């Protein structure tokens, strides 16, 4: 009794239910951190690539050349490149058919680009729902563990005729560890979710704008040739 | 697949974050935890002092008995080991026999024998016991071992009962402190050790001064505090009472004074 309780003791002495809760929360925290890092890297790389591509696009280079370069490069096109590739591919395909109507060409090019945009958006938002779930539920899971632990330690108190704080204190301390872990899992998840959701929105807006700009350019191109 | 590859670095980083947090927690935990020093003084009460010695001879005797008992208590852990060894090991029996003989020889000077045997509580008790029983019979060794065994079991129970006992102890402390009025001559750092004797109903039958503070008024105030309490709430379980409350010590030590 004279030894201060170590955190390991607190975890190992906890009841099975509380331990399960702790295990779930630790797992959730692990997975959400994996998601946080993975999302962080992939979103920042999409942003970077998009900016780089935009610079290239507006540099006045021949669009066909840019397209061929992207096709030739080994890595998968992301973000703006993907939309550009989808739109340009559709455009060249339809242009080869002689009697194509410019408006119809533009419609299907825009459709192709919108599909690519939606796919990209979906891909960027992978695992964001998971982060949202962890952020909103893990405090409750932790709280459940705590309530359960406290329930048990008070039930133990009922059988002791001289109630003293030292009888219940370890149990409560154990139980509170569950809430602590729950908060530890939830806080980064909520922060990351908000941050990533905002980032995705910014990127999607950019892509949207680019889609419009690009279709404008293509439309002008068709008109000039006509 | 490339999508799986993109998860490897994040997974490693996430693991690193968790390991880091857990390590920090483990390192800082002990410092953050409140020190357990308060718990060390379980059986002491911080309070005042004494200086009278009414019936000196009787008190001396009682003090001696208390000393022995306390020593035995203090070495309970050792004692347990020793007891187990004695049980398991035939050697222990031989040793005890030897001890018995030795104690017979030293019967006249029992006190010295005890001091010599003080190293091992088990041996000591064997000697004590045998020194008395040798008068009646020399074959007390087995009995002694049995007693050691049962005491060991009692001790195990005592450990589980410790927490319960603590509740009573703190209540007794509170009661004594309530009744304690310190004399003006009390100073920080003074300390008085009293031995209190209770009957199973919790009534105080005797209070003796074990260690005086050197200040008579302070000593007297401490003894008065215990006597005024008259009756403490003690465990109804008689084994527990015998173990912790039949006779216990109270330490009075003012710490909140300005002088």
Q: What is the pLDDT of residues B144-198, one digit of tens each?
A: 788 888 888 777 766 666 777 777 888 888 888 888 888 888 777 788 888 888 8
Domains and CATH numbers, chain B: 56-252 (3.30.1150.10)
For residue B39, pLDDT over 60 is answered with: no
Q: Are B163 and A5 an interchain contact pair (Cβ–Cβ within 8 Å)?
A: no
Q: Are A2 and B35 an interchain contact pair (Cβ–Cβ within 8 Å)?
A: no
Distance CA B214, CA A41 (A): 75
- Return per-residue pLDDT of chain A as tens, 226 residues: 445 567 787 788 888 888 999 999 999 999 999 999 999 998 998 889 888 888 988 888 888 888 888 888 877 788 888 889 999 888 888 888 867 788 888 888 899 999 999 999 998 888 899 999 999 999 999 999 999 998 888 887 787 777 677 777 888 888 898 999 999 999 999 999 999 999 999 999 999 999 999 988 888 888 877 6
Residues of A in contact with B14 (CB under 8 A): 30-31, 33-34, 36-37
**pLDDT confidence of residue A143:** 94
Closest to A44 measured CA to CA, from A126, A124, A127, A131: A124
- By CA distance, what is B164's nearest residue in A? A162
Does A139 fall in a domain? yes
Does A195 fall in a domain? yes
**pLDDT confidence of residue B54:** 44
Closest to B96 measured CA to CA, from B65, B73, B72, B128: B128
For residue B85, pLDDT over 80 is answered with: no
Asked whether the beta carbons of B249 and B198 are under 8 A apart, the reply is no
- By CA distance, what is B165's nearest residue in A? A162
Pairing of strands B192-198, B204-211: antiparallel
Q: Calculate mean pLDDT across residues B230-240.
A: 80
Encoding tokens for residue B33?
Answer: 């935890």
**pLDDT confidence of residue B198:** 85
**pLDDT confidence of residue B112:** 56
Does A26 fall in a domain? yes
Round the average pLDDT of chain B to a whole number and report it.
73
Sheet holding B204-211, edge to edge: B204-211, B192-198, B247-252
Query: Could you give the number of structural domains in chain A?
Result: 1
**pLDDT confidence of residue A62:** 85
Burial B75-88 (b: 16+ CB within 10 A, else e): bbeebbebbeebee
Distance CA B131, CA B128 (A): 5
How many Cα atoms occupy the beta-carbon half-sphere of A151 within 13 Å? 9
Q: What is the ipTM of this complex?
A: 0.76
User: Which stretch, B60-74, B109-123, B186-200, has highest mean pLDDT?
Assistant: B186-200
Q: Calculate mean pLDDT across residues B105-113.
A: 59
Comparing A115-124, B195-204, B210-219, B249-258, the range with the smallest average pLDDT is: B249-258
- Nearest neighbour of A34 by CB, restricted to B7, B162, B167: B7
Residue A203 sits in which domain range?
A: 7-225
Q: How far is A125 from chain B (nearest CA, A)?
A: 14
Q: Are A41 and B6 an interchain contact pair (Cβ–Cβ within 8 Å)?
A: yes
List residues bridging with B203 in a β-sheet: B231
**pLDDT confidence of residue B176:** 83
Query: Which residue numbers of A have CB closer than 8 Å to B's CBs?
Result: 1-8, 26, 29-31, 33-38, 41-42, 76, 160, 162-164, 166-167, 184
- Nearest neighbour of A33 by CB, restricted to B17, B34, B170: B17
Q: Calculate mean pLDDT across residues B99-118.
A: 61
**pLDDT confidence of residue A30:** 93
Q: How confident is the model at residue B118 (pLDDT cuts 50, 70, 90)?
A: low
- By CA distance, what is B6's nearest residue in A? A38
**pLDDT confidence of residue B42:** 45
Closest to A10 measured CA to CA, from B110, B247, B259, B29: B29
Q: Are A162 and B168 an interchain contact pair (Cβ–Cβ within 8 Å)?
A: yes
């Amino acid at each position: 009794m004279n030894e201060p309780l170590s955190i390991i003791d607190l975890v190992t002495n906890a009841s099975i239910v509380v331990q399960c809760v702790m295990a779930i929360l630790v797992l959730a925290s692990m997975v959400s951190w994996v998601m946080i890092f993975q999302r962080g890297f992939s979103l920042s790389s999409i942003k970077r690539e998009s900016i780089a591509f935009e610079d290239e696009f507006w540099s006045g280079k021949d669009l066909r050349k840019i397209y061929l370069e992207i096709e030739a490069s080994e890595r998968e096109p992301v973000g703006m490149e993907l939309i550009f590739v989808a739109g340009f591919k559709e455009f060249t395909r339809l242009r080869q058919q002689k009697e194509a109507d410019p408006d119809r060409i533009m419609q299907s090019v825009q459709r192709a680009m919108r599909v690519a945009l939606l796919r990209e958006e979906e891909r960027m938002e992978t695992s964001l729902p998971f982060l949202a779930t962890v952020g909103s539920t893990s405090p409750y899971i932790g709280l459940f563990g705590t309530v359960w632990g406290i329930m048990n330690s008070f039930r133990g108190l009922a059988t002791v005729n001289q109630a003293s704080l030292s009888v219940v204190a370890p149990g409560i301390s154990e139980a509170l560890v569950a809430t602590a872990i729950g908060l530890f899992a939830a806080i980064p998840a909520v922060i990351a979710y908000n941050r990533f959701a905002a980032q995705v929105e910014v990127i999607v807006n950019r892509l949207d704008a680019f889609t419009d700009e690009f279709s404008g350019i293509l439309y002008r191109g068709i008109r000039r040739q006509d | 697949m490339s999508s799986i590859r993109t998860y490897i670095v994040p997974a490693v980083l996430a693991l690193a974050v968790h390991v880091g947090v857990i390590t920090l927690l483990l390192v800082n935990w002990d410092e953050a935890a409140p020190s357990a020093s308060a718990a060390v003084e379980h059986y002491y009460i911080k309070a005042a002092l004494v200086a009278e010695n009414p019936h000196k001879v009787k008190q001396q005797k009682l003090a001696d008995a208390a000393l022995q008992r306390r020593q035995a208590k203090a070495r309970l852990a050792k004692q347990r080991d020793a007891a187990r060894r004695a049980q398991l090991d035939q050697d222990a029996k031989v040793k005890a026999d030897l001890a018995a003989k030795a104690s017979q020889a030293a019967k006249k000077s029992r006190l010295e024998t005890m001091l010599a045997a003080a190293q091992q509580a088990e041996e000591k008790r064997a000697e004590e016991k045998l020194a008395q029983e040798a008068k009646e019979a020399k074959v007390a060794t087995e009995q002694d071992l049995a007693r050691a065994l049962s005491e060991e079991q009692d001790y195990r129970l005592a450990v589980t009962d410790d927490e319960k006992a603590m509740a009573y102890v703190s209540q007794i402390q509170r009661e004594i402190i309530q009744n304690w009025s310190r004399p003006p001559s009390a100073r920080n750092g003074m300390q008085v050790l009293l031995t209190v004797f209770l009957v199973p109903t919790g009534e105080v039958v005797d209070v003796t001064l074990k260690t005086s503070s050197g200040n008579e008024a302070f000593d007297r105030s401490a003894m008065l505090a215990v006597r005024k309490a008259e009756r403490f709430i003690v465990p109804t379980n008689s084994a527990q009472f015998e173990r912790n409350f039949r006779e216990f010590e109270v330490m009075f030590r003012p710490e909140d004074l300005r002088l």
